[in-house]
Amino acid sequence: MWKKVWNYDKIAYGGDYNPEQWPEETWEEDMRLLKLAHINTLTLNVFSWAALQPSEDEYCFDKLDKIMELAKKHGMKVCLATSTGAHPAWMAKKYPEVLRTGINGIKRKFGARHNSCPNSSVYRKFSVRLAEKLAERYKDYDNMIAWHISNEYGGECYCENCEKAFQIWLKEKYQTLDALNHAWNTSFWGHTFYDWEEIVLPDLRSEHMSEEETTAQSISIDYRRFNSESIMDCFRLEYEAVKKYTPNIPVTTNLMGAYKPLDYHKWAKYMDFVSWDNYPSNEDSISKTALNHDLMRGVGRGKPFVLMEQTPSQQNWQAFNALKRPGVMRLWSYQAVAHGSDAVLFFQMKRSIGSCEKYHGAVIAHAGHEHTRVFREVTELGAELEQLGEEILGSTGIAETAIIFDWENWWAIEYSAGPSVNLKYHDEVLKYYTALHSQNIPVDIVSEEDDLSQYKLVIAPILYMTKPGVDGRIREFVKAGGSFVTTYFSGYVEEHDLVITGGYPGKLRDILGIWVEESDALPEHKKNGFIYEGQEYSAELLCDIMHLEGAEVLAEYKEDFYQGTPVITCNSLEKGKAYYVGTRSDEDFYNKFIENICKEQQIKPAAKVPKGIEAVKRVREKEQYLFFLNHNEESEEITLSEAAIDLLTQKEYQKEETLVLPAKGVSILKSQR
Ligand code: GLA
Ligand code: ZN
C-alpha cells in the first residue's frame, strides 16, 4: 500500500519558481498572483549553483535565505532543489575535468546544463558539499516538504576519467579478464583484452558507427549500465548528504518517464519517492502519457509518485509548441492524479525574459497580471484541488495485469544489428499497453527481476534479453494459472547479449511450446496477414517462422513461402497458458486478443465507459475513487454501476444513474469498497 508522499495534507500545487532571475521588488507581486491561483508549493533553487558559490571557497546564501523566508511568509511549502544540475563557469575553467566529453570524443566547454562528468571527483566533491551546506542551513525550515536533487539527470560522458572508472567497474563486475573476454565474445574481430587498461569506452572513435549503432553490443550495453550507475551514484551521494541533516524529509530527483539512457528500475530503489516531468505533445496519444505515469509508479514499486513538472500551456523545445487547448491542462493534471500522483506541479511559475525558455508556458505570463486564459485555468484548477483537501492522498491503484518493461532489454534490442532497424521496444510495449488502457484495465509496469505471482496476466513485449531467473519466474507464474504473453524476437540472449543456443526462444521455449527457426524482416511497405477468430489482421515488421512443440495454433500466415505456418500460438502449462505472437500486428488485433485473455482470466476494467473515456481507480482500505477523464471532443454519458458522490461537484449519484461528462471533463467518484 502506498503511503502519503510527504508531510502535507493537500494536493501540492505549484512548481518551479525562479525569483533569483527577477528584481526583489517583483517578488511580493508574484506572491499575490500565485496565492490568487491557489499555488501552495514552490520548487526553489533549481539552477542557482553559480550564485550560491561564487568561487571555490566562497558560499553565499543571502538571496536564498530571503527567498525561503518569502515562501514561508506566504504559507508556501517548499520543494528545495540542490542546484547541482548546472555547475558554475569558474569550476569548468579551474577544473576542466568536470566537463563532459561527448560520444564524438569532443570535450565540451562550459555552457548549457547537465554537463558535468559523473565520474569527476571534483564535481562529486563540490556537489555533495553544496547539498550538505543547504541541508545544514535549512534543516529547521519547517515549510520544506521535499528535497529535489539536481535536475533531470541524464546523458552520457566519454571522457578519460569515465574510461578509467569503466575499467574499474568492469574489474569489479567480471573479476578476471577471461570472464570479461567470454562475456563480450571478444574472439570476434580479434578484440581479446590482455590488460584492463586496454579497454576503451564504446564511442564514435571505437565501437560505434552512430549513437544507436555499435559493433560490440555487449560492450555498449555494459557501458550503458555503467553510465546509468555512475550518474545514479552522484544522486546517491547528494541523497546521503542531505539525509545527514534532514532524515525525515523525503528525497527525490525528477525523472523523465521512458527515458532510455537511465535504468530507472535501479534508480528508484534509492529514492524516497519517484517524481517525474510530463511533457507530451498534443499529438501524443493519451495512452502514451498513461504508460509513462504507470511506468513511473511502477519503478517505485509501491513508493508514492508525484508529477514534478508539466507546462501550464506550451513548451519551447518542440518543433511546434502548440498550446494546451482550454480544459486540457486540467484534464491532464487529473490524469496524473488518477494514476497516483499526490501533486500537480508545473514548470514554471513565471516566464523568464531571457534565454531559451522565455517562451515556455508559465502561470505568470510576460503580461505580468492575472487576466490571461492560462492564469484563469490554473486558478480554477487550484481552487478545485484545494477543495479536495487530503481526500485522495495516499490511495493506490491495484492491478491484476503487469507489463514487463526493462531498460537493459531495451538497450539490447535497439543495439542489435538486425533483424530490422524499425524494431523499437517502447513502440511494442505501447501497443500492448494501449490495448489494455483503451479497455481501462489497470496495469502495473514491472522489471524482469520482479515477482509476478500477484498477477493474472503478464505481458512481456519483445523479451529479447532473458536475464537469469526471469524464465523461472515466468514458468512458475504460468504453472500456477497465470496467462503469459510474449512476442517475436524474444528469448534470444542472456544478460551479456550472448545468444542462447539450441533454438529460439531460448529458455522460454518449453514455456511457450514452440521453436522459432527463422524470422523474416519485412520492409516498411510490405505486409503479411493472418486470420484470428474469423477476422483478418496484418503481420508486419517481423514474421517468425516456427514449429509447434506442444502449443496449439491460434492463427497462421496468409502468404509467402511460410503461408499456413503458425503465427499466434498458445501453450497450456499446468494451470496456465503461454501465448506467443510471432509478428507485429495492428490495433484491432491487440484489442481483440487482449480482450479475450482478460475475459478468460476474469480481469475486470476499472469501469465500463464509452470509447475515449479513461477510467482509473485509486483505493484505500474502505473507500475507492473512480476517475473518469473524458478525452473526447464531445460530452459522453456513463451509466454508473454503483452509488457514488462526485468529489468535484458534490453531486450524489444512485446506482444505474447516468453521469454526463462534458468534453475534456473530469469526475472523481467516491464510493465505499
Ligand atoms: C525540464 C526541466 C526544466 C525545464 C523544462 C522545460 O523538465 O527540468 O528545468 O527546462 O524541462 O520544458
Ligand atoms: Zn566523464
- For β-strands 613-619 and 341-347, DSSP reports them as unpaired
**What would the grid cell of residue 323 be?**
498550446
| CA distance linking residue 332 with residue 452, whole number of Å | 30
Q: Dihedral (C-alpha) 434, 426, 323, 318: value to the nearest 10 degrees?
A: -170
Mutational pocket test of ligand 1: of 114, 152, 307, 311, the residue with most ligand atoms within 8 Å of the beta carbon: 152
Please indicate whether residue 400, judged by its CB atom, sits closer than 6 Å to ligand 1: no
Give the per-residue pLDDT at 364. Answer: 98
CA torsion sign, 508 to 542 to 588 to 660? positive
* Residues 435, 586 contacting (CB under 8 angstroms): no
**What would the grid cell of residue 580 be?**
506467443
**Per-residue pLDDT tens for 330-359?**
999 999 999 999 999 999 999 999 999 999
The 3-state DSSP class for residue 668 equals strand
- 261 closest CA partner among 408, 130, 74: 408
| CA 117 to centroid of ligand 2, rounded, Å | 4
Confidence check: pLDDT of 282 > 90: no
**Per-residue pLDDT tens for 68-117?**
999 999 999 999 999 999 999 999 999 999 999 999 999 999 999 989 99
| CA distance linking residue 668 with residue 541, whole number of Å | 41
Atom of ligand 1 nearest to the CA of 315: 12
**Per-residue pLDDT tens for 209-237?**
999 999 999 999 999 999 999 999 999 99
| CA distance linking residue 120 with residue 356, whole number of Å | 28
**Closest ligand to the CA of 357:** 1
Phi, psi (5° rounding) for residue 308?
-85, -35
pLDDT band at 248 (very low <50, low <70, confident <90, very high): very high
- 216 closest CA partner among 496, 440, 10, 461: 496
Residue with cell 542531505: 242
**Closest ligand to the CA of 121:** 2
Give the per-residue pLDDT at 547. Answer: 98
**Closest ligand to the CA of 97:** 2
Residue with cell 482478460: 598
Atom 7 of ligand 1, residue of closest alpha carbon: 277
The contacts of residue 417 (CB under 8 Å, 6+ apart) are: 213, 215, 217
Cβ neighbours, 10 Å, residue 28: 12
- How distant, in Å, are the alpha carbons of 298, 457, 462, 545, 566 from that of 552? 33, 19, 21, 15, 9
Q: What is the mean pLDDT of the chain?
A: 97
Residue 603: DSSP 8-state: P
Confidence check: pLDDT of 1 > 70: no
Angle 307-312-316 from CA coordinates, rounded to 5° = 100
Mutational pocket test of ligand 1: of 49, 114, 151, the residue with most ligand atoms within 8 Å of the beta carbon: 151
Mutational pocket test of ligand 1: of 18, 277, 278, the residue with most ligand atoms within 8 Å of the beta carbon: 277
Atom 2 of ligand 1, residue of closest alpha carbon: 152
Mean pLDDT of 302-329: 96
* Residues 491, 514 contacting (CB under 8 angstroms): no
- For β-strands 341-347 and 144-148, DSSP reports them as unpaired
* Residues 543, 501 contacting (CB under 8 angstroms): no
Mean pLDDT of 634-642: 97
- 193 closest CA partner among 171, 213, 160, 162: 171
**Per-residue pLDDT tens for 574-615?**
999 999 999 999 999 999 999 999 999 999 999 999 999 999
Confidence check: pLDDT of 186 > 80: yes
Residue 83: DSSP 8-state: -
* Residues 249, 278 contacting (CB under 8 angstroms): no
- 163 closest CA partner among 192, 193, 198, 200: 200
Confidence check: pLDDT of 285 > 90: yes
| CA 254 to centroid of ligand 1, rounded, Å | 10
End-to-end CA distance of the chain: 15
| CA 257 to centroid of ligand 1, rounded, Å | 13
Confidence check: pLDDT of 2 > 80: no
| CA 57 to centroid of ligand 2, rounded, Å | 24
* Residues 448, 467 contacting (CB under 8 angstroms): yes
* Residues 274, 297 contacting (CB under 8 angstroms): yes
| CA distance linking residue 271 with residue 239, whole number of Å | 8
| CA distance linking residue 601 with residue 578, whole number of Å | 13
| CA distance linking residue 116 with residue 47, whole number of Å | 14
Give the per-residue pLDDT at 4. Answer: 83
Atom 3 of ligand 1, residue of closest alpha carbon: 347
**What would the grid cell of residue 358 be?**
522565455
| CA distance linking residue 409 with residue 415, whole number of Å | 10
* Residues 269, 302 contacting (CB under 8 angstroms): no
Q: Dihedral (C-alpha) 125, 127, 129, 132: value to the nearest 10 degrees?
A: -140
Please indicate whether residue 17, judged by its CB atom, sits closer than 6 Å to ligand 1: no
* Residues 408, 416 contacting (CB under 8 angstroms): no
Residue 1, judged by CB atoms within 10 A of its CB (0-12, 13-18, 19+), counts as: exposed
The set of catalytic residues is 152, 309
Give the per-residue pLDDT at 367. Answer: 98
Atom 12 of ligand 1, residue of closest alpha carbon: 315
- 13 closest CA partner among 333, 257, 302: 333
Confidence check: pLDDT of 3 > 80: no
- 255 closest CA partner among 241, 247, 265, 246: 265
Instruction: Report the chain's C-alpha Rg in angstroms.
Output: 26
